[in-house]
Amino acid sequence: MAAVALVTDSTADIPKDVRERLNIAMVPLKVIVGEQSYLDNIELQPVEFYEMITKTGQLAKSSQPSPADFFEVFSSLIDQGYAVVCVNLSSAMSGTYQSACIAKSMFEDDVDITVIDSRSASFGYGQFVVKAAEMALAGATSEQIVAEISRLRDQLKLYFLVETLEYLQKGGRIGKASAVLGTLLNIKPILSIDDEGSIFPIDKVRGHKKAMNRIVEMLQADFSDRPVNLAIAKTPGFENGVAEMAELAKSNLNVQIYSEVEIGPVIGAHAGPGTIGLFVTPV
């Protein structure tokens, strides 16, 4: 039985020290600011990215890895004798998953590579990869790891709270009129991701504090008193409300494990500074 290696892409927003500790291979997307392209979370770190876009006012863009990028990583792991499980950003948001699938098709049929569409974003699926990597180090098989990823994916609840509608509007997620009206009325859209992996507004609340209370209210309805793992993703330098959000969630949910991560440049390019993401799965 071959040992299992986990591969993901940079939008999983898994901290570097965690990736290194758990031997998680990461294929970066690219983030483009102005005329300059950077490897996400390698050549451009979150702190640098948010400082850059706020100072310049430029709209950042992103591009997916090529099949060759994944093929190189897969080849190295296969040569070392690993079975590979690769988990990627929602296929509804990016062609990254498709690139990984094409890379898999370039191998012989008997090569053990599984590519999974997370149908999620950021640490919403990053936490799946972390759990899977822990299982792999403990000797779990590919089948056991894929089954656990499927369980977590089906039971994940995630909510994003954005500071401004500007980035969603510029990225084509909402219309300009809605963005202007929402800003004037201090409307805070609460975003989630549907079963197909697409972002949608689950609710709209006036004011940041009311929005945070509404998110916790929905999580209470989702999980009641069940033990859960809670992760909060934040944008460094724009952390207003993160501590309050964490305390509110911990006070109203049966949180067994809590973690904080930074939202990387690619996800931040589309959500904007000040975004807070909450990701909750049952233990």
What does the pLDDT read at residue 202?
Answer: 86
**pLDDT for res 246:** 95
C-alpha separations of 168 from 161, 212, 246, 282 in Å: 12, 19, 24, 30
Q: What is the pLDDT of residue 135?
A: 98
Q: What is the pLDDT of residue 32?
A: 95
Beta bridge partners of 207: none
Q: Locate the domains of the chain by residue range.
A: 4-29+64-154, 157-282
Asked if residues 140 and 4 have their Cβ atoms less than 8 Å apart, the reply is: yes
Q: State how far Cα 265 lies from the chain centre.
A: 11
User: Measured between alpha carbons, how far is 72 from 140 in angstroms, rounded to an integer?
Assistant: 24
Give CA–CA dist 276/260, Å, rounded: 10
Radius of gyration of the chain (CA): 19
Question: Which pLDDT belongs to residue 165?
Answer: 64
Task: Give the CATH class of 4-29+64-154.
Answer: alpha beta
pTM: 0.92
Q: Count CB atoms within 10 A of the CB of residue 144.
A: 15
In angstroms, what CA-CA distances link 68 with 51, 82, 151? 32, 19, 30
Which one is the CATH code of 157-282: 3.30.1280.10, 3.40.50.2300, 3.40.50.1970, 3.30.1180.10? Answer: 3.30.1180.10
In the chain, which residues have pLDDT < 50? Answer: 173-182, 184
What are the tens digits of pLDDT across the range 109-149? Answer: 889 999 999 999 999 999 999 999 999 999 999 999 999 99
